[in-house]
Chains A and B, each alone.
Chain A
């Protein structure tokens, strides 16, 4: 099973604040902007991130905190966040 918390490795530069959908910018409070990380989200597609958020939201995936956060976003908002992260995460 994947780590409960996905640490964003390359979640972009904050230059990508342009066009960030509602909520996406707060992700970087835990998931680094441009740091090394144990579980870079750059490795995940928008579909995978969106599915993870849906599973957290609906309680199908164990979590310490992401369940409480994911419930604050609609499926559409979660999808937009997932796409933005996938677009901006460092793919290296």
Chain B
């Protein structure tokens, strides 16, 4: 019944590389597509559209992308930071023109993306900017504070910083994780993080504790996480919901203090996950609404506010779909299919999309939530007959099997997106 532990490694994109059909292709319904943002959503869409013969340019600020999925295993010392780092050579080999730079703005009248040193014309534009952390939402928490109280909600240097703090902490310390209200990137992520930090502390600093200060009274996979904490880390993880005064309303980086309405928590390590919104280019281009996120068509992911611009991944308001790497990948493929049809003068039909999200509570203990989604009255709604979480009370071999599948999923998706 067990999947073998053999790591799945993508063989790369050579099979995907179609001839780079440029102007000639354009005449046959091929188009120029610019993709802004090279995370799971943007990279997937760029690759899919290039393989369909379109002229695709991906604009990405960084030469290296560190995935948020599995970044909690890096925090726990289970994997090195290099294991979650990916470059863009695979996309280049797959026929995507990768431009390192930052989109300064969108000229929607001329259908051009402005860069610092020029502009890129497009027939269709995909924005996949992920999230911006709101440094105006939590008193005391600005970008400078994040160098002391890391969010580690964009992986990379922040992940390494939080890891170093955990390593340097003395036994007996309290590690606080401040969790914002919905919506935010990766709803189960803070609780996976608490679990894997507890896993690290249990073996190295067993008198320490993880304190989750939550702005919510419920969270994704809660019964499964609480079962795991009781079984694996008794006394090590404490969750304080908003109704028990869990919401962090201010921080003081100088003293590593988190303030709630009822108490001040001075801690050894403070991981502050602040409120979020769509990445900056979304606001600058007019596709974000007053919530800070981007309403889109559930059929094509075209912006409800600006025609010709599609928004995928964490930045978009995808109805019931959670903000996850799996969702971003699924949305990217649906958007790519729709854009291909639109460029060929066809009308996209109603899609179905899947989300699957693995959470590791320990290296050999994982569980999932899954959902199937379809457009209902203009928004993506969950198909009620489907989805849900792994069962509570499942035996250890089932949790171990799901942990193996979690690793297989990660190897597969990163291989197919970045390999």
User: Is A bound to B?
Assistant: yes
Asked whether, in the complex, the Cβ of B3 is within 8 Å of the Cβ of A5, the reply is: yes
Question: B1 touches which one: A3, A22, A23 (CB < 8 A)?
Answer: A3
Q: A44 contacts the other chain (Cβ, under 8 Å)?
A: no
A38 CA to B407 CA, complexed, in Å = 13
A32 CA to B409 CA, complexed, in Å = 9
Number of interface residues of A (CB under 8 A): 38
Q: Which residues of B contact A43 (CB under 8 A)?
A: none
Known contacts A22-B349, A22-B351, A64-B401, A69 near B330 by CB under 8 Å: no
A65 CA to B367 CA, complexed, in Å = 9
Asked whether, in the complex, the Cβ of B401 is within 8 Å of the Cβ of A4, the reply is: yes
**Cβ-closest chain B residue relative to A34:** B15
Q: B306 contacts the other chain (Cβ, under 8 Å)?
A: no
Of residues 35 through 76 on chain A, the ones whose CB sits less than 8 Å from some CB of chain B are 35-39, 62, 64-65, 68-73
A77 CA to B413 CA, complexed, in Å = 24
Q: Which residues of A contact B334 (CB under 8 A)?
A: 25
Question: A30 touches which one: B9, B390, B413 (CB < 8 A)?
Answer: B413
A62 CA to B398 CA, complexed, in Å = 11
Instruction: Summarize B's interface: helix, strand, loop or mixed.
Output: mixed
Question: A28 touches which one: B3, B53, B374, B416 (CB < 8 A)?
Answer: B416
Question: A29 touches which one: B8, B329, B349 (CB < 8 A)?
Answer: B329
Known contacts A68-B387, A71-B386, A17 near B8 by CB under 8 Å: no
A25 CA to B416 CA, complexed, in Å = 13
Q: Which residues of A contact B385 (CB under 8 A)?
A: 71-72
Asked whether, in the complex, the Cβ of A73 is within 8 Å of the Cβ of B401, the reply is: no
Asked whether, in the complex, the Cβ of A26 is within 8 Å of the Cβ of B330, the reply is: yes
Asked whether, in the complex, the Cβ of B9 is within 8 Å of the Cβ of A5, the reply is: no
Asked whether, in the complex, the Cβ of B354 is within 8 Å of the Cβ of A17, the reply is: no
Known contacts A17-B337, A26-B353, A29-B354, A3 near B8 by CB under 8 Å: no
With both chains docked as a complex, state the minimum distance between the C-beta of A56 and any C-beta of chain B, in angstroms.
11
Q: Which residues of A contact B368 (CB under 8 A)?
A: 64-65
Q: B124 contacts the other chain (Cβ, under 8 Å)?
A: no
Q: B135 contacts the other chain (Cβ, under 8 Å)?
A: no
A89 CA to B43 CA, complexed, in Å = 22
Asked whether, in the complex, the Cβ of A38 is within 8 Å of the Cβ of B416, the reply is: no
Asked whether, in the complex, the Cβ of B11 is within 8 Å of the Cβ of A68, the reply is: no
Question: Can you identify 25 A-B contacts, CB atoms within 8 angstroms?
Answer: A1-B1, A3-B1, A13-B15, A14-B47, A14-B51, A15-B18, A17-B336, A18-B340, A23-B352, A26-B330, A26-B352, A27-B354, A28-B333, A29-B409, A30-B408, A33-B16, A34-B16, A35-B8, A64-B368, A69-B356, A69-B386, A71-B383, A71-B385, A71-B387, A73-B352
Given A29-B409, A65-B390, A68-B387, list of 7 further CB < 8 A pairs? A7-B412, A13-B15, A28-B416, A38-B4, A38-B408, A71-B387, A72-B372
Residues of A within 8 A of B (CB): 1, 3-5, 7, 13-15, 17-18, 20, 22-23, 25-39, 62, 64-65, 68-73, 77
